[in-house]
Structure 1
Amino acid sequence: MAEQDTTSALAPRLAEQIRDKLIAGELKPGQRLSEAALSADLDVSRNSLREAFRLLTKEGLLRHEPNRGVFVATPSMSSIIDIYRVRRTIECRAIANAYPNHPAVARMRAAVEHARAARDAKDWLTVGSQNMVFHAAIVDLADSQRLNAFYAQTAAELRLSFGLLDDPELLHAPYVDLNAAILGKLEAGDTQEAAAALETYLLQSERTVLAAFSRAAF
């Protein structure tokens, strides 16, 4: 009973760690997850890991196939459309009502600077990860822990949709400067203009990801 209680208590933290790996782009759509490798990497028992898998499967981030194992989910076209609907609702509102000197703005600035350095090095995985940091910081502008927790799941699904593109440079390179432009408007106090620019940005990003989805062979 004690072991079961420990497993149940540990599972949400493990699920968060795996979710972070998804957001960082370390796990790809359709990838089979090795229980042995992941339990060793996270230094946990397989029972705890299986409970975390169950939680993430319920969230739609993983899928279980009988007699085959656990796989990273591949987003559907409808889920991609819904993800971007959620992003426009949350992010545009957060930045429109933002305080230009909010602590999250410094994190946005750091993400832009790190993304520029990674772009110069052609390190597109890091560029993508810094893009995720930038947009998570936008959500932080709303000062809502509930929104932050909700957005973490959305961000994991979003990064999986990015994994559908064969050319990560096509997806990530243009948005480094677009992020910088949005940040500049926010820092200048032009929050409504920043929100409008972000909405245009998100519509462009959605079209790019949906086009990649339509070309992908599943």
Structure 2
Amino acid sequence: MATTGPGPGGLAEDRALLGRTSTAERVADILRTRIADGYFPPGERLVEDAIGKALGVSRNTLREAFRLLTHERLLVHELNRGVFVRVLAVEDVTDIYRTRRLVECAVVQGLGKPPYPLDGLDAAVSGGERAAEEGDWAGVSTANIHFHRELVGLAGSARTDELMRGVLAELRLAFHVVDDPRRLHQPYLVRNREIVEALRTGRRDAARRLLADYLDDSRAQLVEAYAKLITGLPA
């Protein structure tokens, strides 16, 4: 008779791995969010002792979380120096927007019949507008990221949500090296509102076109500003 494996008893030896992996994933999620929200800017070294103490986790767990985020291209490990938040190249920014256009436009195009659940999008737009009134352009950037997360969330796909969570966190790395966040983010407050209103009135195709143009313009603006900054030219 053919055997199918060692049986479930041997899995007991792996029980400890479950807790460690689960904790590492939760730590990675916390750090990913902090990176996306700008708490750890590009180029910053992540200090193991300080972060481990703050989160109450072991060094091994923290290193596993760092490994996960390195795989997601949010961190880089430099030999004998440590772990750093990644600084993107212009090619990275272009590829991020290519991915965003493919995914976000497909989500909007694939929506069923209206009405759509727009509370999350409304909240993100209103949050961005309030932050702009207060001159909080980092807050505007965060609200804009939330807007696109909510937009992708309309697909009701956990896999798509997970993909875009990493993509948008990586995008935020580029936002943080731009020296004029108002110029970068202000034009899209109105455009976010236009997309929501198109969806509210059931104009899915119009929303997709608005989104595609939005992403193309945002990519061109960010790439231009980013290229000037990283080559040392005046922005």
Q: Give the TM-score of the pair, scaled to structure 1.
A: 0.93
Is 1:101 the counterpart of 2:115 in the alignment? yes
Unmatched tracts of structure 2, length 5 or more? 1-12
| Identity across matched positions, percent | 39
Residue 93 of structure 1: SS of its match in structure 2?
A: helix
- CA root-mean-square deviation: 1.6
Q: Distance in 2 between matches of 1:49 and 1:215?
A: 35
TM-aligned CA deviation for residue 4 of structure 1: 5.6
TM-aligned CA deviation for residue 59 of structure 1: 1.5
Q: Give the TM-score of the pair, scaled to structure 2.
A: 0.87
Q: Distance in 1 between matches of 2:83 and 2:72?
A: 14
Query: Any conservation in 2 of the 1:116–1:127 contact (CA below 8 Å)?
Result: yes
Counting matched residue pairs gives 217
Q: Distance in 2 between matches of 1:92 and 1:182?
A: 12
1:80 alignment partner in structure 2: 93
TM-aligned CA deviation for residue 28 of structure 1: 1.1
Q: Distance in 1 between matches of 2:18 and 2:198?
A: 49
- Give CA deviations for 1:71-115 in whole Å, capped at 9, x if unaligned: 000112222111111111111121123254333x11000111111
Q: Higher relative CO (CA 8 A, sep ≥ 6), structure 1 or 2? A: 1
Query: Any conservation in 2 of the 1:62–1:73 contact (CA below 8 Å)?
Result: yes
1:20 alignment partner in structure 2: 33
Unmatched tracts of structure 1, length 5 or more? none
Is 1:127 the counterpart of 2:147 in the alignment? no
TM-aligned CA deviation for residue 172 of structure 1: 1.2
Is 1:175 the counterpart of 2:188 in the alignment? yes
Compared with structure 1, are the counterparts of its residues 175 and 145 closer, same or farther at alpha carbon in structure 2 (3 Å cutoff)? same
2:175 alignment partner in structure 1: 162
